[in-house]
């Protein structure tokens, strides 16, 4: 599949990123490019899964990935994250995707996400510190401590991680993306504010930035 197909599919992934845009006002909200930050992450699932379902699917994905990939594969651990996520998504939405396509989706999504961050740094001088990412991850953890979604419960168990380890380590790439977007969106807004758009919001700006990233990726591959 081409990267444009991947980006279309990725909006359905069920993972959770929480906003820290206004901590002083204690606005505890989930943030996406819909409402001025990272990526659309919610969709209407065709199949409702329990924590045990997520645990089993995570373990299945890990076993399949371990069987089919070399220990010396470049970026093996990071690509595995996306393989697990797409494997779960396939079952959430009853999608007919082959294992070969899942491996390709995972690799290409990893490449896209790396380009997404690199382009933010090169074109807009947006970078984030480890401290900022860890602070956001801990904030996310605080939000979900009392009401963990089944996906987080099950996936952390399937990965043999504590919930804290899952939120801070496994899901770190999502958190980093969120923190980058918080800095990137005002720059995109300033860049495009003169354009005639009905709604110059996070969705529109995210689409424009996605187009830039895809061009950047094509030029550098």
pLDDT tens string 106-122 = 999 999 999 999 999 99
Residue 7 makes CB contacts below 8 A (sequence gap 6+) with: 112, 210, 214
Q: For position 201, what pLDDT does the model report?
A: 82
Element (H, E) at 181: helix 172-192
Q: How confident is the model at residue 144 (pLDDT cuts 50, 70, 90)?
A: confident
Q: Please give the model's pTM, rounded to 2 decimal places.
A: 0.80
What is the extent of the structural domain holding 149? 3-219
Round to whole Å and give the CA distance between 41 and 18. 11
Residue 171 burial (CB count, 10 A): 22
Round to whole Å and give the CA distance between 86 and 45. 14
Round to whole Å and give the CA distance between 198 and 168. 37
Tell me the torsion sign for CA atoms 160, 161, 167, 171.
Answer: negative
Take residue 209 and report the two structure tokens written for it.
Answer: 């930035």
Tell me the torsion sign for CA atoms 128, 12, 208, 211.
Answer: positive
Comparing CA positions, the residue from 117, 106, 124 lying closest to residue 191 is 124
Q: How confident is the model at residue 88 (pLDDT cuts 50, 70, 90)?
A: very high
Q: How many domains does the chain have?
A: 1
Residue 111 burial (CB count, 10 A): 18
């Amino acid at each position: 599949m081409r990267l444009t197909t991947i980006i279309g599919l990725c909006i359905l992934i069920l993972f959770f990123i929480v906003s820290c845009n206004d901590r002083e006002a204690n606005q505890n909200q989930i943030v996406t490019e819909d409402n001025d930050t990272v990526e659309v992450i919610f969709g209407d699932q065709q199949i409702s899964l329990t924590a045990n379902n997520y645990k089993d699917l995570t373990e299945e994905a890990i076993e399949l990935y371990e069987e089919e990939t070399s220990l010396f594969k470049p970026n093996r651990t990071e690509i595995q994250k996306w393989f697990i996520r797409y494997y779960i998504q396939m079952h959430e939405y009853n999608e007919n995707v082959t294992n070969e396509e899942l491996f390709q989706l995972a690799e290409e999504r990893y490449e896209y996400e790396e380009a997404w961050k690199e382009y933010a740094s090169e074109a807009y001088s947006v970078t984030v510190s480890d401290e900022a990412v860890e602070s956001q991850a801990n904030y996310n953890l605080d939000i979900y401590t009392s009401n963990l979604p089944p996906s987080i419960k099950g996936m952390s168990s399937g990965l043999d991680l504590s919930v804290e380890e899952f939120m801070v380590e496994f899901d770190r790439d999502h958190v980093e993306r969120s923190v980058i977007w918080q800095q990137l969106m005002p720059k995109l807004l300033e860049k495009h504010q003169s354009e005639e758009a009905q709604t110059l919001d996070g969705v529109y700006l995210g689409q424009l930035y996605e187009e830039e990233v895809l061009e950047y990726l094509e030029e550098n591959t």
